[in-house]
Amino acid sequence: MDSYSYLFFFVLITYTSATELTFELPDSAKECFHQEIKKNTSVTLEFQVVTGGQYDVDVTLQDPKGQIIYQQIKMQFDSHVFTTEQTGVYVVCFSNEFSTFSHKLVYMDFQVGDEQPLPGLGEHVTVMTQMESSAHDIHKALSTILDFQTHHRLREAQGRKRAEDLNERVLWWSIMESVAIITIAVGQVFVLKNFFTERKPFNVK
């Protein structure tokens, strides 16, 4: 049964009507997002599993008629760009139903439409001035920096989670080794003690 997603970290709405969020995907669960999009609109879907299990999810994207236009099985990350062929509600679903105990944290970036120019630019037919051109270049550079920062934060969070999991495994392995060494040592002490213990002779009648 599909369920609507709850936003846990942040939502960013920009001039491109982009939805950027990080959400929790419980085990054996499926989360779907709905977006109404007009015909002939450029759309970009990008996702990445940040933490949980094998860092993989099932992803499907359906058009207003229910036809699947994009599907991936047990993917860690991917990006898909397409142009809508009809107006209506498009649905993207993330499924963790194949996992019975792994809780996932998924990042999604759903950009609808092309980025609009800066306010004031493009309002005249003359060639852009040097200042306007510089402002436009700075705006593009800042957008690129934001994308790099987002992906860097995701990689950092994923690396930290893997390091914590590895540290936990090493801790439990060390505990098990310590218990095994202590058990063997105690057993050897009892065995050696029995070798050197004088046994009373049996009385033969």
Residues 43 and 76 in one domain: yes
| Domain range enclosing 74 | 3-116
171 and 112 assigned to the same domain: no
What is the Cα–Cα distance from 19 to 45, expressed in whole angstroms?
Answer: 10
Q: Buried b vs exposed e over 183-204: b needs ≥16 C-beta within 10 Å?
A: eeeeeeeeeeeeeeeeeeeeee
Is 107:50 a contact under the CB 8 Å cutoff? yes
CA distance 57 to 102: 11
Residues 6+ apart with CB under 8 A from 187: none
Among 116, 143, 172, which residue terminates a domain? 116
Give the model confidence (pLDDT) of 141-165 as tens digits.
777 787 777 777 777 777 777 788 7
Instruction: With respect to residue 202, please indicate whether it lies within any of the assigned structural domains.
Output: no
* Percent share of the chain, pLDDT over 70: 79
Question: How much is the pLDDT for 143?
Answer: 72
Distance, in Å, from the CA atom of 155 to the CA atom of 195, rounded to the nearest integer, reads 60
Within 10 Å of residue 71's Cβ, how many Cβ atoms? 13
In-domain check, residue 31: yes
Last residue of one domain, picked from the residues 67, 94, 116? 116
pTM listed for this prediction: 0.61
Averaged pLDDT in 10-residue chunks for the chain of 205 residues: 39 52 89 91 90 88 92 90 92 91 88 67 58 73 75 76 83 91 88 72 56
> How do residues 42-53 score in pLDDT, each as one tens digit?
998 999 888 888
